[in-house]
Amino acid sequence: MRLIARLDVKNEHVIKGIHLEGLRKVGDPNRMAEDYYRQNIDEIVFMDAVASLYDRNNLFHIIERACESVFVPITIGGGLRSLADIEQALNAGADKIAINTAAIRNPKFITEAARTYGSQCIVASIEAKRSAAGWEAYVDNGREKTGIDVLDWARQLEDLGCGEILITSVDQEGTKKGFDVELIAAANTTVGVPIIASGGLGGLAHIDALVDKTEPSAIATASLLHYGIHSVSEIRGQMAGQGLGTGR
């Protein structure tokens, strides 16, 4: 199982909130990325937290700087809505592209992107909130409803050609109360592409609770690392204790 550091960025700063709201600055994205790389993180995800406000991604220069000292796969997400955007992101040094809003608005964009750049490059991002019927997909940092069922959408994204799916539980995000295990387990049994679990990791026991019910391809964490609750090596140790392959 891969361990991924997630850095949500707003105006040159890594930010963190609860339920993707109430954001506060926690550090410099390039310094934090280099620190996590030196701790042997497997991958890093940079998400533009305010891309919807400007209708574009503003992280390309940050990715360019990161690639000077960080040598693990980098994913960039937020505001990427055309093949030209993807091309610019890849030219900046990104290895993968996370797509949420653009896929909701034009599902064929996933197929077009996967055919052009390869499915291994395309990460479908889903912001999920619990609903009476299960989970609903959201956009705009968990603020805008889509009326789309998360599991149905995950199936469609797989059929469209994405290489993996990043599922963020908006309900759990930033709470440090643990993953939405039911959500990740349901997604894992619904699709065959790798699942990245994001949202809620606040302690090592939460890893145990997750892998007791399901085993995603990767877990993404922010608070646990950003606030120094646990180091990469401590998280790896917990994963290794569960028999999960780790390390790069």
The pLDDT score that the predictor gives to residue 148 is 97
Does residue 210 contact residue 177 with C-beta atoms inside 8 Å?
no
User: What positions carry a catalytic annotation?
Assistant: 8, 127
Asked if residue 130 belongs to a domain, the reply is yes
Beta bridge partners of 137: 128
Q: How many CA atoms lie within 13 A of 146 on its CB side?
A: 25
| Residues 22-48 pLDDT 10s | 567 889 999 999 999 999 999 999 999
Residue 190 has pLDDT above 60, yes or no: yes
Candidates 52, 53, 67, 207; CA nearest to 127 is 52
- The span from the CA of 56 to the CA of 145, in Å, is 20
User: Which residues constitute the domain of residue 185?
Assistant: 2-241
Per the prediction, the chain carries an average pLDDT of: 93
CATH number of 180's domain: 3.20.20.70
Phi then psi dihedrals of residue 117, to 5 deg: -115, -5
Asked if residue 12 belongs to a domain, the reply is yes
| Residues 49-102 pLDDT 10s | 887 666 677 899 999 999 999 999 999 999 899 999 999 999 999 999 999 999
| Residues 124-155 pLDDT 10s | 999 999 999 899 999 987 788 999 999 999 99
Residue 187 has pLDDT above 70, yes or no: yes
**What value does the CA radius of gyration of the chain take, rounded to a whole number of Å?**
16
Where residue 168 falls among pLDDT bands split at 50, 70, 90?
very high
Asked if residue 91 belongs to a domain, the reply is yes
H or E, element range at 125 = strand 122-131
